[in-house]
Amino acid sequence: MHIPFDNSYAALPDAFYTKLAPTSVKAPKLLAFNEELAKSLGIEDTDEGTMTEIFSGNSLPQSADPLAQLYAGHQFGNYNPQLGDGRAILLGEVIDTNGIRRDIQLKGAGRTPYSRGGDGRAWLGPVLREYVVSEAMHALGIPTTRALAAVSTGEDILREQGMLPGAVLTRTASSHLRVGTFQVFAHRGQIEDLQTLTDYAIKRHYPQASGPMDLLRAVCAAQADLIARWMSVGFIHGVMNTDNCAIGGETIDYGPCAFMDDFHMGRVFSSIDQQGRYAYGNQPNMAMFNMAQLATALLPLFEDKDAALEEATAIIYAMPDQIEAAWLKRFAAKLGIAEPTPEDADLIQSLLDLMQTQGADFTNTFRALNTGKARDQFTDREAFDAWEKRHSARIMGLEGASELMDATNPALIPRNHRIEQMIQAATAGDMAPFEQMMQAYATPFADTSSDLTRPPTRDEIVPATFCGT
């Protein structure tokens, strides 16, 4: 197998990482491989034997320069001065067919100096969850890391639930730079490294940015857009810590994430998120918190600290309006309105309020708006009828409204109960549900009669996701 590496992170100062190879595993087996993604990365000559060796970490591809990245981060609001890749190894980077530099990283590839007591491994469940959900997000048009391969290791690992089959995920990302990468150098007073990192991030992600303030502005814009996109498909990330907030604006780290079925602004899935810090409707606030941390980390780079603080504060304070505008754009499109006016916010909010009080399914309600069947999602149908009258009046004569609705309201999202069922099957050696989901979620906006559109029955509901990844 040939991977056309072109590594840049490995050329940064030693302070940025620890170079080390993955730890071998006993009996690797290739479970999934993303051929389309591999092609776009210029990966050639793929045979199963070599792929199994490389994607398990048992052998290193030529020109790989493996390393674990250093970073820190705020976890649930508390600063942790040292995190870093505790179980991930960056093999290197390639330039894809669109000219974009992509990291290729193994997750669950063994211990590193940043493992902090962890085993450096991942179990099959979260590996397949990330595989399915990140690829579904990509198909939904939402910026995300992607899944290139999944391998089972043939080794059992210990988690809260007991002994579980180990696995390694190979993922790609436009980079693994996080808010926490900036924080670690800022907090340690390594200003030269902070400057090097800033220059690197600008060059890699926002080449038009003129300096750190412009970088902050660009990352805030990317995060505002990302959060609005998440909300428009009912996605709850679940662990928006600053170490899981990518500078490039991609969704990263699919640990306790979930898509909601029946709509509620306060929905939380993560079992460790007792306070609802990362609840569906709190995601804009948390993005703003993360951007405030990035701003704080960048301040040491400025000579005139007072002026910089003032400017950065203005950028952060502009975020609510920025997210609101992005939210309005995304949700208005779901109603068939390409160019929303401020009054449309009330039309959207009224529908969401109805959905919340009546427990309507988020995905199926929006999808059905275009077929006249949305009222079936409500128990108080007259209340919905009244709303629909307003909606019909608003989109009357709007060209392309129907097409816009079909292109922005997916028929399929990876429902949590299906993911759990898929993981159970895979743990028992049956990959058929995984294959079926991968195929279905590749075209989420197509009309379908798939059973995967069905919300969970009372017995099927999976109310919590676990961080024991």
Subset of residues 248 to 267 that bind Mg ion, contact rule: CB under 5 A: 253
For Mg ion, the closer of residues 239 and 355 by Cβ is 239
As measured in angstroms, the least distance from the Cβ of 138 to Mg ion is 19
243 catalytically annotated = yes
Q: Cα separation of 348 and 371, whole Å?
A: 18
Question: Which one-letter amino acid corresponds to residue 370?
Answer: N
Phi/psi for 420 (5° steps) reads -60, -40
Q: Is the dihedral of CA 303, 304, 307, 310 positive or negative?
A: positive
Catalytic residue chosen out of the listed positions 225, 243, 262, 273: 243
Q: Cα separation of 210 and 203, whole Å?
A: 10
Subset of residues 139 to 168 that bind ligand AMP, contact rule: CB under 6 A: none
Number of residues that bind Mg ion (CB under 5 A): 2
As measured in angstroms, the least distance from the Cβ of 130 to Mg ion is 11
Choose which of 74, 121, 204, 394 interacts with ligand AMP (CB under 6 A). 121
For ligand AMP, the closer of residues 115 and 195 by Cβ is 115
Closest to 69 (Cα-Cα) out of 152, 1, 129, 7 = 7
Closest to 227 (Cα-Cα) out of 278, 302, 152, 270 = 278
Number of residues that bind ligand AMP (CB under 6 A): 17
Q: Interacting stretch for Mg ion, rule CB under 5 A, among 43-51, 196-204, 247-255, 320-328?
A: 247-255
Q: Interacting stretch for Mg ion, rule CB under 5 A, among 186-194, 244-252, 356-364, 428-436?
A: 244-252
CB within 8 A of 193, min separation 6: which ones?
13, 15, 16, 185
Subset of residues 16 to 35 that bind ligand AMP, contact rule: CB under 6 A: none
For Mg ion, the closer of residues 61 and 73 by Cβ is 73
If one counts every other C-beta atom within 10 angstroms of the C-beta of residue 395, the result is 18
Phi/psi for 320 (5° steps) reads -55, -45
Residue 244 interacts with Mg ion (CB under 5 A): yes or no: yes
For ligand AMP, the closer of residues 80 and 322 by Cβ is 80
Residue 120 interacts with ligand AMP (CB under 6 A): yes or no: yes
Subset of residues 211 to 250 that bind ligand AMP, contact rule: CB under 6 A: 239, 243-244
As measured in angstroms, the least distance from the Cβ of 9 to ligand AMP is 16
Closest to 41 (Cα-Cα) out of 109, 107, 115, 91 = 91
Closest to 346 (Cα-Cα) out of 279, 394, 311 = 394
Instruction: Taking each helix axis as running N to C, give the angle between helix 416-427 and helix 432-441, from 0 to 180 degrees, rounded to the nearest 10.
Output: 150
Choose which of 93, 253, 262, 420 interacts with ligand AMP (CB under 6 A). 253
Closest to 25 (Cα-Cα) out of 130, 136, 155 = 155
For ligand AMP, the closer of residues 130 and 406 by Cβ is 130
Residue 469 interacts with Mg ion (CB under 5 A): yes or no: no
Subset of residues 254 to 273 that bind ligand AMP, contact rule: CB under 6 A: 255
Residue 118 interacts with ligand AMP (CB under 6 A): yes or no: yes
As measured in angstroms, the least distance from the Cβ of 153 to ligand AMP is 13
**Strands 122-123, 17-19: pairing kind:** unpaired
Question: ∠ CA 425-426-430 to the nearest 5 degrees?
Answer: 70
As measured in angstroms, the least distance from the Cβ of 168 to ligand AMP is 12
Determine which helix (DSSP H) or strand (DSSP E) holds 236, and give its type and residue range. strand 235-236
As measured in angstroms, the least distance from the Cβ of 120 to Mg ion is 14
Q: Interacting stretch for ligand AMP, rule CB under 6 A, among 117-125, 200-208, 321-329, 355-363?
A: 117-125
Subset of residues 71 to 100 that bind ligand AMP, contact rule: CB under 6 A: 83-87
Q: Cα separation of 234 and 444, whole Å?
A: 14
For ligand AMP, the closer of residues 230 and 387 by Cβ is 230
Question: Which one-letter amino acid corresponds to residue 79?
Answer: Y
Determine which helix (DSSP H) or strand (DSSP E) holds 27, and give its type and residue range. none
Burial class (CB in 10 A: 0-12, 13-18, 19+), 436: middle
Q: Interacting stretch for ligand AMP, rule CB under 6 A, among 10-18, 40-48, 114-122, 436-444?
A: 114-122
For ligand AMP, the closer of residues 175 and 377 by Cβ is 175
Residues at the interface with Mg ion (CB under 5 A): 244, 253
Residues at the interface with ligand AMP (CB under 6 A): 83-87, 114-115, 118-121, 239, 243-244, 253, 255, 469
Q: Which residues carry out catalysis?
A: 243
